[in-house]
Every structure is written in C-alpha cells, then in structure tokens.
Amino acid sequence: MIKTFLYGEDDSLPLLLKSLLKLRHGQITFQGAWNGTVGEVSDLHAVIEVHNPLLMDLILKNGVLGAAEGYIRGDWSSEHLVELIQILARNRAVLDQINQNIIAQASQFFLKAWYQNRKNSISGSRKNIAEHYDLSNDFFKLF
C-alpha cells in the first residue's frame, strides 16, 4: 500500500488518491512531477513518468478520458502500458469510482448554479410558476 506520496502544488492529487488507494490487483508507481506508489504488491507493476504536475486535475475533470488526453499531450508516459492496462482492467471498480466522482462533482456544480438562478423573489416566483404551470388562456380553452 502507499507509504509516501510527494507532490507539488496540485490540489487535485489528494482527491484522486482516495480512489487510487483502493487498487487491490497490482501496483502503480508514479515518478517525476510527483512520486509515490499505490496498490498492492502482485505480479503486475507499472511505472508512470509524470511530466506535468497538473495531470491529476485533468483526470479529475475528464476521468479516464483525461488520462488518455494527458498521454497524447505528453503529460505522462510509461514503458509498462500493457501492465498498466491490465492493472486498470483488474481494478475496474476504481476506474468507475473516478468517473463517478467526476459525474457527481459536475452534477452538484450544475444543480447549484441552476438553483441560484431560480431565486425566490416575486419576479423569480412568477417566472418559476409560469415555467412549471400552464396558466395561459390556451390551457382553459381546452375545457
């Protein structure tokens, strides 16, 4: 399991580590912009060279696709891609949790923004009622 993890100014790393600490099948070592190891010792071990310390922010915002984007951009590299993919495949629940965290954060952000725009004032209440109920004459003509 993880012993130490040194990182710079990237505040998103601890958030992602919560998920990565749940790796049970294999071990991933990060080197470069930040250093550390997650997972349990097993037949699978991969080393990732982190070239951009903001990589975790990209992964938190875009999930697994963010990791792929980071690889394409050169934010990280590995000589152990096959092993890394095997580790991630064996720990599918961890990937799902990373993606769920993104969905949950995005949902909370958009719901909060939506509720803030629906203020409980006289004009706001009129607007909310008008959007929710059909109180026009067209409605009453149906009777």
Task: Evaluate whether residue 36 is within a structural domain.
Answer: yes
How far is the C-alpha of 27 from the C-alpha of 38, rounded, in Å?
Answer: 6
pLDDT digits (tens), the chain, 143 positions: 444 444 444 455 666 777 788 889 999 999 998 788 999 999 999 999 999 988 887 887 788 888 999 999 999 999 999 999 999 999 999 888 877 776 656 666 666 776 676 666 776 677 767 666 666 667 656 66
Say which residue the tokens 């990280």 belong to: 76
Task: Give Cβ neighbours of residue 90 (< 8 Å, ≥ 6 apart).
Answer: 25, 26, 44
How many structural domains does the chain have? 1
Question: Which CA distances in Å does 36 have to 10, 23, 46?
Answer: 14, 14, 12
Q: What is the pTM of this model?
A: 0.62
Residue type, position 87, single letter: I
Task: Evaluate whether residue 45 is within a structural domain.
Answer: yes
Structural domain range at position 64: 5-105
Nearest to 14 by CA among 5, 22, 26: 5
Task: Evaluate whether residue 69 is within a structural domain.
Answer: yes
Q: What is the CATH number of the domain that holds 86?
A: 3.30.1050
Task: Evaluate whether residue 138 is within a structural domain.
Answer: no
Task: Evaluate whether residue 43 is within a structural domain.
Answer: yes
Task: Evaluate whether residue 75 is within a structural domain.
Answer: yes
pLDDT given at position 15: 67
